[in-house]
Amino acid sequence: MTFILKLKPGREKSLLNRHPWVFSGAVQQLDGEPQAGDTVLVRSADGRFLGNAAYSPHSQIRARVWSVVEGEPIDANFFRRRLQTALALRRDLLPASLNGQRLVHGESDGLPGLVVDRYDQVLVVQVLSIGVERWREVIVDALVELTGIPNVYERSDADVRGLEGLPERCGLLRGNLPADTMIDEYGVRYRVDIAGGQKTGFYLDQRVNRRRIGELAAGKKVLNCFCYTGGFSLAALRGGALSVESVDSSAEALATAQANLVLNNLDPAQASWVEADVFKYLRLLRDKGQSYDLIILDPPKFAPTAQHVEKAARAYKDINLLGLKLLKPGGLLATFTCSGGMDASLFQKIIAGAAVDAGLDAKVIERFTPDVDHPVALSFPEGDYLKGLLVKRGL
Ligand code: SAH
């Protein structure tokens, strides 16, 4: 039986622009009684076909569009084709030697609510929507078949699942979880804690930016704030940094970071690790009169959605003001936001405000984004979450 979800007059616009979400307020009428995750046919008030979508009864996002092709069945073959397209993008554009890659990036790969990261011989799956939940077994089977990777671990422990009426869930879905999983990023090796690490275990979205920091770090005194398992720290040391001081509030992350240092045969004498709140620690460094050639600020997302932007703006300004003040003349600040609710121009304005308050002349000399394995569908600007600026302090 076909379930039909009819929109209110005038509410078809975003779908015609291929944005994949139908908000509850746009719904006029629902024909039939679809279960959570069932496919519904979305029509405009005047009966136009808009898409086939996954029905989500508990969420503000009442349906997520799978396909805008009329008559395209949503079945195992559909998911296989979408996964093949996503895998082909990475295969064509990333070096095969990169064994840590995001294979599926949700809406931007045409699979709303699905994230798949590959860490060497393990696929880590995050199921964030009820539509993906409904097709989980089919998707996991196709992933194993298409990648040839037998081990699949689920890390569906993200808050957003609650909005979909789904409980958190983690555990092995296929194969085994190897005792140790290691990835190699352009010659730097990182151990990934798949079961216990943050998100799916690692922040793959910063891969190219870690490499760039490695290129910039030679001979420099570096401060890496929000270092997690040592991503930018190790890249900087491998790139010839004189010293790297790394700060994070997570003791587990810092322990892994130190193990990663050993794994890469880097000199522990050049690295120091500090368990602290960055907001407080930066003030301490300022009061001690410290200064650095290169500072990295890669905080967690302060503004998950647009509603949090104002408070987040204050937090970004605070750490960036302190960071700029800790730069030596001519020094570099690599500053990031991974907040979906913060757009690039607002972020740049915040950094500009911080420079004015610091009384410094500074310029943007580069911009950072993730690599091709984190695409942004043009119809889904929300996918453009990670932005960064490389700022140079005047002399
Ligand atoms: N740059 C890292 C990823 C950073 S993720 C990489 O390349 O892998 C953000 C990190 O900030 C997490 O490790 C989290 O533990 C840490 N964190 C969050 N709030 C913090 C705070 N107030 N002070 C210090 N660290 C914090």
Q: Which domain holds residue 47?
A: 3-67
Domain end (from 154, 174, 194): 174
Q: Do 271 and 321 fall within a single domain? A: yes
Residue 327 placed within a domain = yes
Q: Do 110 and 25 fall within a single domain? A: no
- Distances from the Cα of 316 to the Cαs of 149, 258, 293, 341, 344, in angstroms? 40, 27, 20, 13, 13
Q: Can you give the CATH number for the domain in which 85 is found?
A: 3.30.750.80
Supply the pLDDT for residue 375.
Answer: 98
Return the active site residues. 338
Ligand 1 lined by 370 (C-beta under 6 Å):
no
For the range 169-173, what are the long-range contacts, defined as Cβ-Cβ under 8 Å and sequence gap of 24 or more? 169/127, 170/195, 173/125, 173/140
Domain end (from 67, 88, 117): 67
Q: Can you give the CATH number for the domain in which 16 is found?
A: 2.30.130.10
285 Cα distance to chain centroid: 29
Supply the pLDDT for residue 7.
Answer: 98
Residue 196 placed within a domain = no
Q: Do 170 and 286 fall within a single domain? A: no
Residue environment code for 230-268, b if the CB has 16+ CB neighbours within 10 A, otherwise e: bbbbbbbbbbebebbbbbbbbeebbebbbebbebbebee
HSE of 90 in the Cβ direction (CA atoms, 13 Å)? 21
Q: Do 356 and 317 fall within a single domain? A: yes
Q: Do 50 and 80 fall within a single domain? A: no
Residue 242 placed within a domain = yes
Domain end (from 49, 67, 85): 67
Residue 53 placed within a domain = yes
HSE of 227 in the Cβ direction (CA atoms, 13 Å)? 34
Supply the pLDDT for residue 46.
Answer: 96
Ligand 1 lined by 279 (C-beta under 6 Å):
yes
Ligand 1, residue 278: give the atom nearest the CA. Answer: 23
Residue 188 placed within a domain = no
Q: Can you give the CATH number for the domain in which 341 is found?
A: 3.40.50.150
Q: Do 60 and 102 fall within a single domain? A: no
Q: Report the separation in Å between the CA atom of 228 and the middle of ligand 1, taken as the mean of its atom positions.
A: 5
Q: How far apart are CA 149 and CA 175, in angstroms?
A: 9
Query: What's the pLDDT tens digit per position in 318-362?
Result: 999 999 999 999 999 999 999 988 999 999 999 999 999 999 999
Q: Nearest 5°: phi and psi at 249?
A: -90, -10
Supply the pLDDT for residue 315.
Answer: 97
Ligand 1 lined by 249 (C-beta under 6 Å):
yes
Q: Do 21 and 106 fall within a single domain? A: no
Query: What's the pLDDT tens digit per position in 21-32?
Result: 999 999 999 999
User: What is the strand order of the sheet 169-174 is part of?
Assistant: 100-105, 114-119, 122-127, 151-156, 169-174
For the range 141-147, what are the long-range contacts, defined as Cβ-Cβ under 8 Å and sequence gap of 24 or more? 142/76, 142/79, 142/80, 142/83, 143/83, 143/103, 143/116, 144/174, 144/175, 146/80, 146/83, 146/84, 146/87, 147/87, 147/103, 147/118, 147/123
Q: Do 293 and 157 fall within a single domain? A: no
- Which residues, in sequence order, are CB contacts of 221 under 8 Å at separation 6+? 241, 242, 243, 292, 293, 294
Q: Do 238 and 373 fall within a single domain? A: yes
Supply the pLDDT for residue 304.
Answer: 78
Q: Do 44 and 157 fall within a single domain? A: no
Q: Nearest 5°: phi and psi at 190?
A: -130, 135
Ligand 1 lined by 231 (C-beta under 6 Å):
yes
Q: Do 84 and 142 fall within a single domain? A: yes
Residue 161 placed within a domain = yes
Ligand 1 lined by 296 (C-beta under 6 Å):
no
Domain count, the chain: 3
From 199, 248, 278, give the residue whose CB has the most ligand 1 atoms within 8 Å, as the site to mutate. 248
Supply the pLDDT for residue 303.
Answer: 82
Ligand 1 lined by 301 (C-beta under 6 Å):
no
Q: Residue with the nearest Cα to atom 11 of ligand 1?
A: 226
Residue 181 placed within a domain = no
CB atoms within 10 A of CB 229: 27
CB 123 within 8 Å of CB 145: no
CA dihedral 255, 258, 264, 266 (to 10 degrees): 180
Q: Residue with the nearest Cα to atom 3 of ligand 1?
A: 228
From 247, 249, 256, 285, give the residue whose CB has the most ligand 1 atoms within 8 Å, as the site to mutate. 249
Ligand 1 lined by 298 (C-beta under 6 Å):
yes
Residue 180 placed within a domain = no
- Distances from the Cα of 174 to the Cαs of 80, 124, 127, 242, 283, in angstroms? 18, 11, 15, 44, 47
Q: Report the separation in Å between the CA atom of 207 and the middle of ligand 1, taken as the mean of its atom positions.
A: 15
Could you read off the pLDDT tens digit of each residue along the chain, which spans 395 residues? 799 999 999 999 999 999 999 999 999 999 999 999 999 999 999 999 999 999 999 999 999 999 999 999 999 999 999 999 999 999 999 999 999 999 999 999 999 999 999 999 999 999 999 999 999 999 999 999 999 999 999 999 998 898 899 999 999 999 999 999 999 999 999 999 999 999 999 999 999 999 999 999 999 999 999 999 999 999 999 999 999 999 999 999 999 999 999 999 999 999 999 999 999 999 999 999 999 999 999 999 998 777 889 999 999 999 999 999 999 999 999 999 999 889 999 999 999 999 999 999 999 999 999 999 999 999 999 999 999 999 999 99
Q: Do 80 and 37 fall within a single domain? A: no
Supply the pLDDT for residue 341.
Answer: 87
Q: How far apart are CA 83 and CA 77, in angstroms?
A: 10
CB 226 within 8 Å of CB 254: no
